[in-house]
A and B are shown apart, each in its own frame.
Chain A
């Protein structure tokens, strides 16, 4: 695990902003540092305090985890983590969906949401996109993918939801 290089930083900022023009500033505020963990298919991204970043980098053995995981950068595209979803305000993300209150529990159990359960999708969110999913009060629920249903509308397939913390036994 090491600090992102200037070129990587620029690439990450660009990838964040593909999800919303103000997202990079939200996800990566001043006073924090971006750590990266290279893997076979891309870069793991971690938001860390300056000192945690310094010491993770200077550790005499490989560090697998430091700071807060923000997801992965794969071929220039950002794959957000559950934790990143919690940092994003609903209005700041171009790719987002707000579901109705009645289906919040369903999504948190890792289940999909039918078209009737989607209260609002951001105008930029296209079918096939991965989107941040929010409750009506703005609470993050996780990430899903907008897919067509049999009647030509759009439903939400779950990718990852906050209930994972419980299912993981955390």
Chain B
């Protein structure tokens, strides 16, 4: 889809959007795509929970937990291994000595789902096509026990420096950093067992953290979608037959989510797979993950897209995120 879906805002929607600081077109679209838009907007106004992820590569997680609790942190275990919600903190969780030692990383719960969806294993060859700031790259290195290799691509030199800094702090030894467009991964010799594409996007799902994204323009959807298509095509090309690609974004825009995967199913040698039970079986905020859309404003999409999943701020209590797992066809 080359043109964004335009949903004319009603006068009352326009007033409400102005009151809340949004572009009216964004709220009109959400109202068309998702239920309970008022609940969604209300959730986007609340500050997000802070989540950390223990890093076994840099220290025993039980010991890290004990050290943080002795310092006055109050933490609640999350639904994924090594994920903890910070309920009380005597200092910024990004400034403790344990953080500086790489014993944990800051990472929203929603984004922690991408790696268990991909299931990387020790010894494998993995591509991370848009890696900075590196939370998921580090999470993959943990799952791979620092063995095998992850090729981490980041086109922006400043963001690549942040990525290197995070990898080093967390004691990661199996990552090769490439300061270039992830689409260049096809030029690497050999093929990959797995590819993570957490694609650059309009970020509608992270408005709780970055309110400037309330004022998006419809043209941005198309620009992001073009970049996502190119990365997705490159990711599939770089994958070995039978290999797995996880496509993820932190936006609510179907042009960047379901439409991308729908086009991949039509044009590329991939099939959609159900997310692993460790992800699909989760209940976050008391709710199952929300299935992907299959009918968007009259556009009928591949019905298997119901196997993709959203986290939504008003349903799951975390940031908005989208996940799809694709497997490349065997030769």
Contacts and interface: CB of A to CB of B under 8 A. Distances in A.
Q: Chain A CB within 10 Å — which of B148, B175, B176 has the most?
A: B176
A67 B172 CA distance: 7
B177 A66 contact: yes
Given A49-B174, A52-B176, A165-B100, A170 B166 contact: yes
Contacts of B102: 86
13 contacts: A32-B173, A49-B149, A59-B188, A61-B178, A65-B177, A67-B173, A67-B176, A68-B173, A82-B168, A135-B97, A162-B101, A166-B95, A170-B166
Nearest to B146: A49
Contact of B168 (A51, A69, A108): A69
B100 A48 contact: no
A54 B151 CA distance: 12
Interface string B225-256: 00000000000000000000000000000000
A49 B100 contact: no
A116 interface: no
Contacts of B179: 64
Contacts of B276: none
Contacts, number: 99
Interface in A75-112: 81-83, 86-87, 104, 108
B123 A83 contact: no
Given A51-B125, A52-B149, A170-B162, A66 B175 contact: yes
A60 B187 contact: yes
B169 interface: yes
Interface centre among B150, B165, B168 (most CB of A within 10 A): B168
A128 interface: no
A169 interface: yes
A63 B178 contact: yes
Interface string A142-153: 000000000000
A20 interface: no
B189 A49 contact: no
Interface residues of B, number: 38
Nearest to A83: B168
A168 B101 contact: no
Interface centre among B94, B174, B175 (most CB of A within 10 A): B174
Contacts of A48: 173-174
A55 interface: yes
Q: Is the interface on chain A under 10, 10 to 19, 20 to 34, or 35 or more residues?
A: 35 or more
A52 B100 contact: no
B175 A61 contact: no
Given A49-B147, A52-B149, A60-B187, A68 B176 contact: no
B100 A166 contact: yes
Interface of B: 58, 94-95, 97, 100-102, 123, 125, 133, 146-151, 161-162, 164-169, 171-180, 187-190
B100 A67 contact: no
A58 B189 CA distance: 8
Contacts of A83: 168-169, 171
Given A48-B174, A60-B187, A139-B101, A170 B169 contact: yes
Contact of A170 (B150, B165, B176, B188): B165
A50 B136 CA distance: 21
Contact of A60 (B94, B95, B150, B189): B189
Contact of A165 (B165, B174, B178): B165
B177 to A, nearest CB: 4
A108 to B, nearest CB: 7
Contacts of A66: 175-177
Given A60-B188, A170-B166, A47 B173 contact: yes
A10 to B, nearest CB: 22
A68 B101 contact: no
A51 B171 CA distance: 17
Most buried by B among A54, A63, A69, A170: A170
Nearest to B164: A65
A51 B146 CA distance: 10
Nearest to A137: B67
A49 B188 contact: no
Contacts of A58: 189
A140 B174 contact: no
A139 to B, nearest CB: 6
A159 to B, nearest CB: 16
A165 B169 contact: yes
B122 to A, nearest CB: 9
A165 B172 CA distance: 15
B233 to A, nearest CB: 20
